[in-house]
Amino acid sequence: MKYIILGASSGLGREIAYLLAKKKNDLIIISRDERDLRAIKDDLEIQFKINITYFELDLSSFEKIQNFFNSNPNIISEIDGILMPVGMTMESDIITNNLENANQLIQSNLGSVIYFVSKFLPTFIKKNKGSIVGFGSVSAIIGREKNAVYASSKRALESFFESLIIKTLSTNLKIQFYVVGYLNTNLSYGKKLFLPKGSPKKLAKTVYKNLNRNYYKKYFPVWWIYITFILKIIPFFVIKTIYSLFFKKNEK
């Protein structure tokens, strides 16, 4: 088997790459960091005697993704599955985000995934097999002041995967979507959180175990399913009131 992993140079993407390689799958790994990609390739090929190709690619650029596919037209027919644990955040991500930053966030977190799926889906449907795995975020559960565009993109991504499963109902394609809370990675380093961070290694094992399941949506860590349920049944005006009281308290 041969898989593409977007965002493979760190965090969850790196853990997925190691696990798939350990299970003797060939890989194409993609991220913006060529140095890390090269190190991962060398390490995994030596350890597990598999074939790995890497591509340095900025997923926040539609033009660069387009050029990637134009330069590698045969890549689509080689792949058995795509896993896309991609995520881009910015400290400046608020409602008044400038257009350039907003476009980068939307393209990285939503547009890049849609583009990759759109390129591989026709071939997967024709072969009647293939795995597509996406990753959302608990930040998309309700509206927020910070990371507003990131959260909006992740909410849209979940809707896109719901549409994807409807599109593929009559096929044998395997579609999974994970709603992910804070993981113990560099992105959450130093953050003060109310709940424990999830293990990217444990999530990678869950992803691998479920690769051949039919449509599957899972919250990780698991307690987020209960938090999400509670937040969804609370009327928004109550949440708005809580927000207002919280921020007023912090301003004093």
User: Is residue 39 over pLDDT 70?
Assistant: yes
Average confidence (pLDDT) over 92-103:
88
pLDDT at 189 over 80: no
Region 2-221: CATH code? 3.40.50.720
Is the confidence at residue 165, as pLDDT, over 60?
Answer: yes
Q: What is the pLDDT of residue 102?
A: 93
Strands (E), the chain: 2-6, 26-31, 52-56, 81-84, 131-137, 174-180, 216-220
